[in-house]
Structure 1
């Protein structure tokens, strides 16, 4: 008989995610009485998706481990996790964990019986709404404290803030006339990344995010984790609080961009974005990597920077995100509890290990996982 495992708090999780009491029934948060229904959310301009990840360890050993990123509970105004459920037949352990000092949460599952099924099915119901900041509005938001912003000014293993990163950040500001305004400084970095980098289709997954290597080698090509990771590092080196946002596309773009959306099978639709903090305005979304994606993929043969579609994407993606995408976390150097291997530089893909070592997250055919998105309309 299969054993169903329910969400169980780790000691460092402040509040449990909702759990499912029976197959097909969605659990609700503790504040469910006050929470709007799906119909209410749809009427308010939100869209709702069920995102399901299915993993099966075909290499069954006595030490099978799986770690799945979970969507962030709430990003005010543009993302809400409504419910979570999972099944892990044959597992010894299944628990939700949070990374200390970060906003990264994950589902950890451990298998010890090679004869038992080693399968996980995780579904989250997530509501999103397009995000945009009026950069011309009068700043009136309550400022965040230095302690709240501190994590977003720190170096990481992939993105140091000294050496070539610092030198490049200073040169960008110098070339821009050393603007004093935070938004103007961020815009200068955004423009520089778009104009000096290149999306490289042959790069596996979303890239490695190794900013130091990119600048030291002079090879400014890659994908979103590289290009947006570079933007974040340059912003932090300039003194601007900035963060990567790791997630996955869940629907097609309503703006007509074929390259900026994915629905149905989203196994390979992971995407990293970025945002920065400006006092009085709060967190402001950006996505220079998607501008480069439009240039490379929107049309056969590519598009020039001057093409109207590229110019429109460039204007839109400084200050706005189309939320046909969900955010998992802003984490870096994420430890995987129970693993003997180094932390993950970032957590955007399912992670897995057996006694033979860590599985290749960028090869879902061999690792054997699939992610699907289904739009909820009622």
Structure 2
């Protein structure tokens, strides 16, 4: 079992936003960041502000929350200020935690959420996986099937390989070498890997490329899961892999991890293709080769993870959400869902600041 040195001492934190009431019931047990962090940790404060404008329609909003995960990420309790009714809820299948805010009357519908998160560099981590967990993380989903062309592709890539470690590396190298980042893809992509393989169009962004990695691994019986989150700071490894300002409204990023030999192994082939495109470097360049090795088994934690819920069913939603994952704010009324990929019209903003750096 990993020992986690908690960077958040247990202290009450009271905070609010101008013109909005604090919800103290949701702030119980709030952990306030320490003045000094344990060695190797960084601390960030994430702030999400949303104004839902729906005319004469009541609205429901779902916001993903940062998770506590392994020995590399610790999330404090969120502080919520809103004129609606806020609840912490989880989806039934994955347990992904989120805030659900409801406004029964169509007045100004606004919420501000602040959450402190501490991170440290992440490598492969030992973990026990029971039968139910193994079944969950090898199961097919609507967007990530494990049969048909997905299984056929995985079998072709791993032919002759006996160990899960060797198969995992072969899959990673194949995804890096055969996919490409498509700059015109909206948001982070859709993650529909069956369509990618059937059409031969292996382009997209992180939710496409890393979902392909996840689906191929599951087809080999290797537990795998995407982790949806957001970049919060500049990268120390490659200029395209971080944020350039405190405004992280469009900095969402999906990663993936695989379970082999009693460890969760973090990988990120999508970020290799991001370097190739945005830094205009060939795959064979020294820099790309170094990052390719680093991102097989390591994550730079200038990024915060939310959840691993794919084809998520939002608790209390009047209809299925348009996206396959909860990585962006999601707002619905009886008339439909607001466009989460257009924060200007949706009117939301996300910011990050590093504390105690």
TM-score normalized by structure 2?
0.90
| Structure 2 contact 72–120 (Cα < 8 Å) conserved | yes
Which residues of 2 match residues 192-203 of structure 1 at below 5 A? 192-203=174-185
Q: Secondary structure at the match of 1:62?
A: coil
- Asked if the contact 1:165/1:212 (under 8 Å) is kept, the reply is yes
Kindly indicate whether residue 99 of structure 2 is the aligned counterpart of residue 107 of structure 1: yes
CA contact (8 A) 1:5 1:94 kept: no
Counterpart of 2:9 in structure 1 is none
> Which string of whole-angstrom CA distances, capped at 9 and with x for unpartnered residues, describes residues 2-28 of structure 1?
6635376xxxxxxxxx616xxxxxx53
In 2: Cα distance, 1:117 partner to 1:63 partner:
10
Q: CA deviation at 1:143?
A: 4.0
2: CA distance, partners of 1:337 / 1:142: 29
* CA deviation map 1:241-279 (0-9, x unaligned): 000000000000112x11100140000000000000012
Q: Would you say 1:326 and 2:304 are equivalent positions? A: yes
For the Cα contact (< 8 Å) 2:127–2:264, is it kept in 1? no
Say whether 1:49 aligns with 2:44. Answer: yes
Distance 1:142 1:326 in 2: 20
Q: Are residues 1:62 and 2:44 paired? A: no
Number of equivalences: 338
What are the ranges of 5 or more consecutive residues in structure 2 without an aligned counterpart?
Answer: 1-17
- Residues of 1 paired with 2:291 and 2:235: CA distance? 12
Aligned partners of 2:183 and 2:271: how far apart in 1?
Answer: 13
Q: How far off its partner does 1:169 sit?
A: 0.5
- Aligned to 1:54, the other structure's residue is in SS state strand
Question: 2:73 aligned with 1:79, yes or no?
Answer: yes
SS in 2 for 1:314: helix
CA contact (8 A) 1:153 1:242 kept: yes
Out of 292, 295, 303, the residue aligned to residue 273 of structure 2 is 292
2:256 pairs with 1:316? no
**TM-aligned CA distance change 1:2 to 1:39, over 3 Å:** closer
Structure 2 contact 247–350 (Cα < 8 Å) conserved:
yes
Unpaired stretches in structure 1, ≥5 consecutive residues: 9-17, 21-26, 135-140
Moved beyond 4 Å, runs of 4+? none
Q: Deviations over 1:335-354 (max 9, x none)?
A: 12232221441110100123
Query: In the TM superposition, what is the alpha-carbon distance from 1:148 to its structure 2 partner?
Result: 2.3
The question of whether the paired residues in 1 share the 8 Å contact of 2:181 and 2:205 is answered with yes
2-structure distance, mates of 1:58, 1:105 = 25
Partners of 2:253 and 2:246 in 1: CA distance: 16
Q: Which residue does the alignment assign to 1:359? A: 338
- 1:242 corresponds in structure 2 to 224
* Equivalent-residue separation in structure 1 for 2:24 and 2:267 (angstroms): 34
* Counterparts in 2 of 1:54 and 1:146: CA distance versus 1, 3 Å: same
Structure 1 CA distance for aligned equivalents of residues 327 and 138 of structure 2: 21
CA RMSD in angstroms, aligned pairs only:
1.9
**Between 58-67 and 342-351, the greater mean CA deviation after superposition:** 58-67
- Give the 5 Å matches for 1:328-343: 328-343=306-321
Q: What are the Cα deviations for residues 80-127 of structure 1, in whole angstroms up to 9, with x where unaligned? A: 0023101112x1x2100011231311100111222x321111111000
The separation in 2 between residues aligned to 1:337 and 1:5, in whole angstroms, is 23
Distance 1:5 1:352 in 2: 21
Secondary structure of the corresponding residue to residue 283 of structure 1: strand
Q: Are 1:232 and 1:242, in contact at CA under 8 Å, matched by a contact in 2?
A: yes
